[in-house]
Amino acid sequence: MRCDLPDVADGERPRSEHSIVFDPQRCVGCVDCCKACPTAAIRVRAGCAVADPDLCIDCGECIRWCRHGAMHAATATSADLKRFKYTVALPTLTLYSQFGRDVEPGQVLQALRSLGFDDVYDLSAMCDMHASATDAYLSECRGPWPKVSVTCPAIIHLIQLRYPDMIDNLLPIETARELAAKLLRRRLVAEKGLAPGDIGIFFITPCSAMLQSIHHPEALEASYLDGAFSIAEVYGPLLKAIKANGPVENPPPISERGLLWAMAGGEIAGMRNANTITVAGVRDVLRVFDHIEEGKLQAVDFIEAYICPDGCISGQLTVENRYAARRTVQHIVRRHGRQAGEGAVVPEEKVRAMLREHFFDLEEHLKARPVRPLGRNLRESVARKREVERVMADLPAKDCAACGAPSCAAHAEDVVRGLAALEDCVFVRLERLQEAMASTKEPVHD
């Protein structure tokens, strides 16, 4: 097949268990990524950022805040496409928001074919059906409340790591992208006579977290997707193809309710259940999750949550300004002439039947991620916890990150673990220097 995607050699993109790659040649040790990380996974050591793989949730906040391009996502390459006889592009709905309000979704899909994909699939109908399935599930669920959306993989990983008591609050319904890929592969096997392994389905992703969910899926033995390209990678070739192709004569049907999933608030916009809230952005998410852990918000049925500040349209791998992207989505929905929330792609009776048949179910139960304890046993952990508190008493509680850790608490724990020295804190070092100078100063005699 012809491929107009950027040709990147495999050796230029080192693979690891995480989707984010650090480039030490570009890192200047500015600690911006360190302070932005919601799980305190990053330290700056010897002037370079390093990440603890046990704490990283691939949320991409380090990519968002790094001004020097020292972090990037390890996306698919042209060589990955060549492994399959038949390739399909499954674009995030956010892709439709990247080219201005006059470009229709049908033009974007047509342009993807121009890049060399054998087929493309619009995700909006599955998102619409997913919202109906969530409504049906919530009407029969008995808690615990509130249920939390699993659309954003970084949210799942955050709960697994920092809020393990909230695991059962996660909505046990597979994501729309995985459900779409599963159905698409089955259909193509039947229609094309291909073996499942001959079909390569590639997601066009707005963020590193969704890329990670393909390489290392949660509650799935293996993802139904075979890889992902970022919006930023395909944007240039797509824009060129859109201009060359012009309007589409018979555009495919697009679900307006599904299209709203491109931005925060879009998931609940397609639901009938109004007892819902949307929260987006790291700080607000952490605050809301703290409240849930404290037993608050139990009167809410469903929370749509995103690590990125405005949902997927603000993913780190996008191109368009997120405010302009939101305006574009709203304009396209209005132009299609149907108010979000009216009608549904699949009748409710059918969705409920599919729910009873476990079509939407996660294949496995989500589990908490083990956190590395302070000690080898409970007794040692308690003793080290007290030691952390003693170290904290010597620190200024300024959370300036000048020591290379994101907070004084994180630095204190690093000291106790033997990964850092107390004197790495500039304030401690300054205080001890002043003490040393005072002790060596000759006394003044009358």
Q: Could you tell me the residue ranges of all domains in the chain?
A: 20-73, 78-356, 378-440
Position 339 pLDDT exceeds 50: no
pLDDT for res 74: 93
pLDDT at residue 344 is higher than 70: no
Of 115-124, 182-191, 247-256, least confident by mean pLDDT is 247-256
Residue pair 301/273 in contact by the 8 Å Cβ criterion: yes
**Is the peptide bond prior to 38 cis by the omega test (within 30 degrees of 0)?**
no
10, pLDDT greater than 50: no
Q: Torsions phi, psi of 101, nearest 5?
A: -75, -10
**Residue 12, pLDDT score:** 43
Whether 338 contacts 128, CB under 8 Å: no
Between CA 404 and CA 109 the distance in angstroms is 45
In the prediction, which pLDDT does 443 show? 63
Q: What is the percent of the chain with per-residue pLDDT over 70, rounded to a whole number?
A: 93
Alpha-helical (H) ranges within 246-347 are 256-259, 266-269, 282-293, 322-336
The answer to whether 34 touches 42, Cβ cutoff 8 Å, is: yes
The dihedral through the CA atoms of 246, 252, 255, 260 has a sign that is: negative
Instruction: Report pLDDT digits (tens) over 42-97.
Output: 999 999 999 999 999 999 999 999 999 999 999 999 899 999 999 999 999 999 99
Report DSSP letters for 334-391, one per residue. HHHT--TTSS-SS-HHHHHHHHHTTTTB-SS---PPPPPPSSSSHHHHHHHHHHHHHH
Which pLDDT score is estimated for 372?
83
pLDDT for 128? 94
- Percent above pLDDT 90 for the chain: 82
Q: Which residues contact 167 (CB under 8 A, 6 or more apart)?
A: 159, 160, 366, 367, 368
Task: Give the pLDDT band (50/70/90) at residue 285.
Answer: very high
Residue 341 has pLDDT above 50, yes or no: no
Residue 14 has pLDDT above 60, yes or no: no
Please tell me the predicted confidence (pLDDT) of residue 5.
57
pLDDT of the residue at 17: 80
pLDDT at position 6:
54
Q: Looking at residue 138, what is its pLDDT?
A: 96
Say what the pLDDT of residue 336 is.
Answer: 77
Please say whether the dihedral angle defined by the alpha carbons of residues 277, 281, 287 and 293, taken in this order, is positive or negative: positive
Has residue 8 got a pLDDT over 50?
Answer: no
Mean of all residue pLDDT scores within the chain = 91
> Which DSSP string do the residues of 114-161 spell out, in sequence order?
HTT-SEE---HHHHHHHHHHHHHHHHH---SSSEE--SSHHHHHHHHH
pLDDT average, residue stretch 416-421: 94
Which pLDDT does position 117 carry in this prediction?
96
From the candidate CATH numbers 3.40.50.720, 3.40.1280.10, 3.30.70.20, 3.40.50.970, the one assigned to the domain spanning 20-73? 3.30.70.20
Residue 210 near residue 203 (C-beta atoms within 8 A) = yes
The CATH code for residues 378-440 is 1.10.15.40
pLDDT score, position 9: 44
369 closest CA partner among 266, 231, 218, 150: 218
Check: CB of residue 258 under 8 Å from CB of residue 123.
yes
Say yes or no to pLDDT of 323 above 50. yes
Q: Is the pLDDT of residue 220 over 50?
A: yes
pLDDT for the residue 11: 40
Residue ranges in 194-347 assigned as alpha helix (H): 208-215, 231-245, 256-259, 266-269, 282-293, 322-336
Contacts of 361 (CB under 8 A, 6+ apart): 172, 173, 174
pLDDT of residue 411: 96
pLDDT reading at 110 higher than 80? yes
This model's pTM is above 0.85: yes
pLDDT tens track for 225-275: 999 999 999 999 999 999 999 998 888 889 989 999 999 999 999 899 999
CA–CA separation, 112 vs 109, rounded Å?
Answer: 5
